[in-house]
Amino acid sequence: MYDESAPPVPESSPESDGGPGGCGPILAALGRDAKPLRQQVFEHVRAAGRAARADVTRALGISAGSVTALTSDLIGAGMLREVESAPRDATSGRGRPPVALEVVPECHLVIGIKLSDEVHSAVLTDFAGNMVADASLPTPPVRKTLDQVLDEMGELMQAVLSSANRQMTDVSAVGIGLSGLVDHTTGTIPWSPLLTDRDVALKAGFEARFGVPVHVDNDANVLTLAELWFGAGRAMSDFVVVTIEHGVGMGLVLGNRIFRGTRGMGMELGHTKVQLDGALCRCGQRGCLEAYLADYALAREASTALGRNPRNLQSPHAMLETLYGQAKAGNTAARTIFRRAGRYLSVGLSNVIQLFDPELIILSGERMRYEYLYADEVLTEMQSLTLTEGRPPCRIEIHAWGDLVWARGATALALTAVTDAALGETRAIAAQ
290 lies in some domain: yes
Which of 88, 105, 122 is a domain's end point? 105
13 lies in some domain: no
Which residue positions in the chain have pLDDT lower than 70?
Answer: 1-20, 28-33, 86-97, 308-315, 369, 371-373, 425-432
Which of 105, 136, 169 is a domain's end point? 105
Domain that holds residue 172: 107-224+405-422
Specify the pLDDT at position 16.
54
- By CB atoms closer than 10 A (0-12, 13-18, 19+), residue 113 is buried
Q: Are strands 188-191 and 181-183 parallel, antiparallel or unpaired?
A: antiparallel
- By CB atoms closer than 10 A (0-12, 13-18, 19+), residue 94 is exposed
The reply to whether 291 and 313 lie within a common domain is yes
307 conformational bin, left if phi > 0, alpha if psi -120 to 50, beta if neither = left
Question: Taking Cα atoms as reference points, which of 268, 124, 263, 272 lies closest to residue 185?
Answer: 263
The reply to whether 195 and 293 lie within a common domain is no
The CATH number of the domain where 384 resides is what?
3.30.420.40
Specify the pLDDT at position 4.
39
SS3 at position 397: strand
The reply to whether 248 and 373 lie within a common domain is yes
Total residues belonging to the chain: 432
The reply to whether 199 and 347 lie within a common domain is no
The reply to whether 60 and 185 lie within a common domain is no
Instruction: Check if the beta carbon of residue 177 is closer than 8 Å to that of residue 223.
Output: yes
The reply to whether 414 and 368 lie within a common domain is no
Specify the pLDDT at position 426.
42
Instruction: Return d(Cα 370, Cα 161) in angstroms, integer.
Output: 35
Tens of pLDDT along 24-68? 999 866 554 578 999 999 999 999 999 999 999 999 999 999 999
The reply to whether 384 and 323 lie within a common domain is yes
Q: Are strands 119-126 and 109-114 parallel, antiparallel or unpaired?
A: antiparallel
- Ordered strands of the 200-201 beta sheet: 181-183, 188-191, 200-201
Instruction: Check if the beta carbon of residue 381 is closer than 8 Å to that of residue 341.
Output: no
The reply to whether 243 and 391 lie within a common domain is yes
Three-class HEC string of 226-254: HHHHHCCCCCCCCEEEEEECCCEEEEEEE
Domains in the chain, number: 3
Instruction: Return d(Cα 112, Cα 128) in angstroms, integer.
Output: 14
Specify the pLDDT at position 66.
97
Whole-structure pTM value: 0.85
Question: Taking Cα atoms as reference points, which of 281, 273, 274 lies closest to residue 300?
Answer: 281
One-letter amino acid for residue 126 of the chain: D
Instruction: Return d(Cα 102, Cα 232) in angstroms, integer.
Output: 22
Contacts within 8 Å (CB) and 24+ apart, 74-77? 74/38, 74/41, 74/42, 75/101, 77/422
2 lies in some domain: no
Q: Tell how many helices (H) and how many strands (E) occur in the chain.
A: 12, 15
The reply to whether 284 and 362 lie within a common domain is yes
